[in-house]
Amino acid sequence: MKNFTLSAFLLTFIAINFSIAQNKIDSNKLFGKELTEANKQSIEETGFIRCGSSEYEQYLKQTNPNRATSEEFENWIAPKIQELKAQRANSPSVVITIPVIFHIFTDGFGPENLSQATIQAQLDQLNIDYANAAGSPFASAADTEIQFCLAKQDENGAPLAEFGINRVTTYGGGPFSTGNFETTYKPATQWDPTSYFNIWVADITGGVLGYAQFPDNSGLAGLNPTGGAANTDGVVVLYSSVGSVANPNPNGGQYASGRTLTHEAGHWLGLRHIWGDTTSCNNDDFCADTPDSTGSNFGCPTGTDNCIFDGLGNDMIENYMDYTDDTCMNTFTADQKLRIDAVMANSPRRMELATSIACNEATVYNLDGRVEINSLNLIDCGTTITPEITLTNMGNNTITSATISYFLDTDTPSTYPWTGSLAMNQSEIITLPSIDLTSGNHIFNVELVNPNGSTDLNPSNDIDTSNSFAAFYDTATIEFELIPDDYGSETTWEFRDSSNTILYSGGPYTNNDSTPVNDTFTVTIGECYTFTINDSFGDGICCAYGNGSYELRTDNNDVIFAGGAFDNQENVVVSVNNLSVDSFSLANTISIYPNPTTDVLNIKATNNNLPESYKVYNMLGQLVASKTILNDSDLAVSTSNYSNGMYFIKIEKEGNVLSLPFIKK
């Protein structure tokens, strides 16, 4: 199912990305964290931050309190490694193939719009490097028995036009800040991390070549009530680093041969830098067959031994987990392989990948129609939507007729009869009749019913639903709070009425001052307002250079919009009117997680404001489960006995109903 982000009736969010030539490198911080000594040196030596994974891990621990510390992770993985050693003495290991999806951020032009051939070259380099086929001179070098394949099908099982590639054009070609990638772009574009190794490729600001999310241990991390870091799991690399030794990227310089991704994939698989991000000679990467070092190496040095008393010889500058140039790298060791094996056998979202079928040829059904929401054609502060959808034939048989069922929230569905002729892979855009909106929060749903008067053989793509969108607000004031990032001098904002008159404004602010800024906007019933926040550098106010944010609230303290991760500018459009009824804004207080789910679906209610009941329906509209909610324990919905597929959970509170889709896997 595709989630459609709706710019909504009386609340519209517009993110505008402008291409900028600047490339801000903060010599002190990344993700709001102090740079490691290795990265400070990296900037001095190369002008780049070779790897941002260490700073990113600190950021994840701050934003995800349940995430394991390094010590906790090592205490967890050490016995797993010993168990594997004992097992391998009696039986050989097997090659694990990991499906890969490259999310390429592009406006369709320019060098960041990498070709299928470039992606294939990068994949080939990964497989060479992880198979110990790059010509390592070391006896300790090992085939990790990890290989990678380009996904052939998307999350719905439909065939990919370009294997392993998801071109993301929603946000333009960048450049993009690392903070925005974490808070906005990765969660919005990630594919199921239990089925795909997600790799985001983009024009990244700050001189960062790449960074990875270190794996979780199964006891602590990534499992907090908000899903933790699961929705950002993967690797981000600079587009110019994608390539191979045989086919280097023409824009990549000494980092053109694909070893940035080899390095970052190593972190994603549990490997640490060979010097352990310390200045001591104490085997801080927890691999006894990598010579100890007190720091990173650059270029292609020879005869460097930072720890002459460890008896292991010179620094292994050829190791993929050092900072040397791409063409100098050629080695993973046997102990590094064991760490990877332990992660792949035990770590959440890693251990499931071995059974993923994403690289299999997609199943093609005889009768398979797909419906997707293109646009709701919503005008700012308007009162109607005119949905535009796309009907696509994904099957072998020509589709000549179908019924389109559509509805808001839990309203009685309306139907639209369609006739035509769609051969396999052909599409048609259909404009549905306009729908009048009322106050409150809404979700638009569309479903394909009975193509050719028969049963669709692949119901997983027969339903699409919009994100929740809000109607007008009943408020006399709008409360505004801003927390600047470290570069407050770049931030300004304005609050305008429908005649474009500036009613309130603020900024620029003082650098390195996170003192909250508060203001109250007096508003008039029947008026439409636009709040605009600007960042002159183009990297928003969160989170690469401080955790800045802003929030707009009603006089009842209901959140209208909260943000901070944008590029040059972000706009929020708000209409003010009287509510026809005392509406409980379910969509602002209720959410579900994890989605997709395999066992338990959790309902999250803010401020302990419990809903009254829920009902679960399958795609045929049949009631699967229902429950009256009396306490927090009733918010856990067991889905273990559900068949795989899409469902809707309808959550009720004070006569209002919120309908949310979820997938059982």
The dihedral sign for the CA sequence 645, 651, 655, 657: negative
Question: How many other C-beta atoms lie within 10 A of the C-beta of residue 228?
Answer: 23
**C-alpha to C-alpha distance for 425 and 488, rounded to whole angstroms:** 50
DSSP code for 428 = E
**C-alpha to C-alpha distance for 477 and 77, rounded to whole angstroms:** 54
Query: How many Å is the maximal CA-CA distance in the chain?
Result: 80
Reduced 3-state DSSP string for 78-109: HHHHHHHHHHHCCCCCCCEEEEEEEEEECCCC
**C-alpha to C-alpha distance for 122 and 258, rounded to whole angstroms:** 6
The enclosing H or E element of 449 equals: strand 444-449
- H helices of 328-468, where? 334-346
Looking only at the bridges linking them, the beta strands covering 235-238 and 197-202 are: parallel
**C-alpha to C-alpha distance for 325 and 269, rounded to whole angstroms:** 21
What is the Cα Rg of the chain in Å?
26
Torsion over CA of 262, 263, 266 and 268, rounded to 10 degrees?
Answer: -100
Do 156 and 461 contact (CB within 8 A), yes or no? yes
The enclosing H or E element of 391 equals: strand 388-393
Question: How many other C-beta atoms lie within 10 A of the C-beta of residue 243?
Answer: 27
**C-alpha to C-alpha distance for 456 and 489, rounded to whole angstroms:** 57
Nearest-CA neighbor of 15 among 144, 142, 174, 129? Answer: 174
User: Token digits for 522?
Assistant: 């007096």
264 is catalytic: yes
Angle separating helix axes 116-130 and 259-268, nearest 10 degrees: 60
**C-alpha to C-alpha distance for 656 and 523, rounded to whole angstroms:** 27
Do 151 and 90 contact (CB within 8 A), yes or no? no
Q: How many residues in the chain?
A: 665
CA atoms within a 13 Å half-sphere pointing along the CA-CB vector of 463: 19
> What is the residue whose two structure tokens read 């292609």?
300
- Secondary structure of residue 76 in the 3-state scheme: helix
> What is the residue whose two structure tokens read 């990113």?
56
264, 479, 490, 652: which is the annotated catalytic residue? 264
Do 153 and 166 contact (CB within 8 A), yes or no? no
What are the C-alpha distances in Å from 23 to residues 174, 535, 539?
A: 11, 14, 10
Looking only at the bridges linking them, the beta strands covering 463-466 and 3-4 are: parallel
What lies within 8 Å, CB to CB, of 87 at 6+ separation is none
**C-alpha to C-alpha distance for 20 and 172, rounded to whole angstroms:** 12
For residue 442, the one-letter residue type is: H
**C-alpha to C-alpha distance for 433 and 294, rounded to whole angstroms:** 68
**C-alpha to C-alpha distance for 412 and 270, rounded to whole angstroms:** 51
Query: Which are the catalytic amino acids?
Result: 264
